[in-house]
């Protein structure tokens, strides 16, 4: 390899590392994804110049895979689809035992995403160590240093504290129309963990109501794992009024009580039916992100011509109360010592 090409490859590797490092300090998920995509482009150019074909193909594929993780909630399905792709990459890559290293590293990293937080971080460490070995074989010192810093950050996250070493919280919110039954099951499991049994829908009821209005869920995620959610329902006016008039918590909502969003209907009455967030994530940053996601949901409804007349919500815990009160809802009544009904009139 000519020295000039090698030097250019190292410079490009440093640029790739800088873009990736910048993404660690961003707060908005869109900017994080954008910077890491730019970083991936430079990583690919680096491997192309060095003739490291396995590293090139895996890096290209990982960029597509990460976008799939972000845009959908079908993490396990995406991971399984990657297996035949990796077989193809192995077939067209350099004929060396080393070509298998990036493939194994990517598989380990993808497997970790399906597990809990500590497993995600541990798999990230192992994955980056394998990438370091691969990069050092090609004398790719810039990228090897990049992989080392990422492995170091992951080690610090695992052993000390995430926020101590990285200034951003990795939590982000997603509002999409299409979620899978496995996601509804995760929401159901969160309900069972954080609500009393009498305040939880069964899974069948949850599925029926979701099928009636698929726009209702805001997912709160960390590393593609669901850590909470918000459910906002559009109700018929008589059901909305029944909630406001009831002397106890009104939870007898059925699919026929839901109003679908449509251009022909002018006025809507929303109810924040439930808000759940794992205890370990209940901090100012995550609460603010959840709050902004709810506000954006309401604002998007207005932009699409769905005029909101009023929003109500029960608060049965401190997390729900903190969100509702920050939205300037008015307390209308205490149902009991642990449940407060709030309302915000917009019409």
Query: pLDDT tens digit string along 169-179?
Result: 567 788 766 77
Confidence tier at 1 by pLDDT (50, 70, 90): low
Note the pLDDT of residue 164: 39
Distance CA 292, CA 296 (A): 6
- Domain spans, the chain: 3-165, 173-345
Confidence tier at 9 by pLDDT (50, 70, 90): very high
The residue among 51, 141, 129 whose CA lies nearest residue 94 is: 51
pLDDT value at 162 more than 80: no
211 by Cβ neighbours in 10 Å (0-12 / 13-18 / 19+) ranks as: exposed
65-100: b (≥16 Cβ within 10 Å) or e: bbeebbebbbbeebbeebeebbeebbeebeeeeebb
Note the pLDDT of residue 15: 93
245: left (phi over 0), alpha (psi -120 to 50) or beta: alpha
Note the pLDDT of residue 325: 84
Helix (H, G, I), strand (E, B) or coil at 308: strand
Note the pLDDT of residue 197: 67
Confidence tier at 149 by pLDDT (50, 70, 90): confident
Note the pLDDT of residue 266: 72
Note the pLDDT of residue 199: 67
Confidence tier at 186 by pLDDT (50, 70, 90): confident
Instruction: Average the pLDDT over 262-291 and give the result.
Output: 83
Note the pLDDT of residue 259: 86
pLDDT value at 246 more than 80: yes
Q: Does the structural domain 173-345 have CATH classification 3.30.1330.10?
A: no
Least confident range from 61-70, 202-211, 329-338: namely 61-70
Note the pLDDT of residue 42: 92
Note the pLDDT of residue 168: 42
Instruction: Average the pLDDT over 131-136 and give the result.
Output: 91
Note the pLDDT of residue 155: 74
Note the pLDDT of residue 176: 66
Token match 């998920």: residue? 29
Instruction: Average the pLDDT over 95-116 and give the result.
Output: 81
Instruction: Average the pLDDT over 7-12 and give the result.
Output: 93
pLDDT value at 330 more than 70: yes
For residues 160 and 96, the model is more confident at 96
DSSP string, 154-202: HHHHHHT-HHHH-SS--EEEE--S---HHHHHHHHHHHHHHS-GGG---
């Amino acid at each position: 390899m000519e020295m000039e090409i090698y030097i250019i490859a190292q410079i490009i590797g440093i640029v790739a590392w800088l873009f990736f490092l910048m993404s660690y300090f961003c707060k908005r998920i869109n900017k994080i994804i954008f910077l890491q995509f730019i970083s991936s482009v430079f990583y690919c150019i680096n491997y192309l110049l060095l003739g490291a074909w396995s590293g090139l193909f895996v890096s290209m594929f990982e960029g597509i895979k990460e976008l799939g993780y972000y845009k959908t909630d079908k993490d396990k399905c995406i991971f399984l689809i990657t297996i035949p792709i990796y077989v193809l990459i192995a077939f067209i890559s350099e004929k060396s035992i080393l070509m298998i290293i990036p493939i194994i590293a990517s598989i380990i990293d993808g497997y970790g995403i399906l597990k809990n937080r500590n497993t995600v971080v541990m798999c990230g460490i192992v994955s980056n160590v394998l990438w370091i070995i691969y990069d050092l074989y090609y004398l790719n010192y810039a990228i090897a240093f990049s992989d080392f810093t990422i492995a170091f950050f992951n080690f610090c996250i695992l052993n000390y504290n995430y926020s101590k070493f990285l200034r951003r919280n990795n939590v982000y919110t997603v509002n999409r129309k299409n979620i899978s039954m496995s996601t509804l099951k995760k929401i159901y499991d969160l309900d069972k963990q954080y609500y009393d049994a009498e305040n939880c829908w069964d899974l069948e009821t949850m599925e029926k109501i979701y099928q009636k209005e698929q726009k209702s869920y805001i997912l709160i995620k960390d590393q593609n794992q669901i850590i909470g959610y918000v459910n906002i329902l559009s109700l018929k006016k008589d059901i909305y009024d029944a909630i406001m008039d009831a002397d106890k918590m009104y939870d007898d909502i059925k699919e026929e009580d839901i109003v679908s969003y449509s251009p022909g209907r002018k006025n809507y009455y929303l109810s924040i039916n439930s808000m759940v967030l794992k205890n370990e994530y209940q901090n100012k940053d995550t609460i603010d992100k959840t709050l902004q996601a709810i506000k954006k949901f309401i604002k998007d409804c207005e932009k699409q011509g769905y005029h909101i007349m009023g929003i109500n919500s029960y608060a049965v815990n401190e997390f729900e109360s903190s969100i509702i009160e920050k939205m300037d809802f008015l307390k209308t009544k205490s149902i009991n010592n642990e449940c407060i009904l709030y309302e915000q009139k917009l019409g």
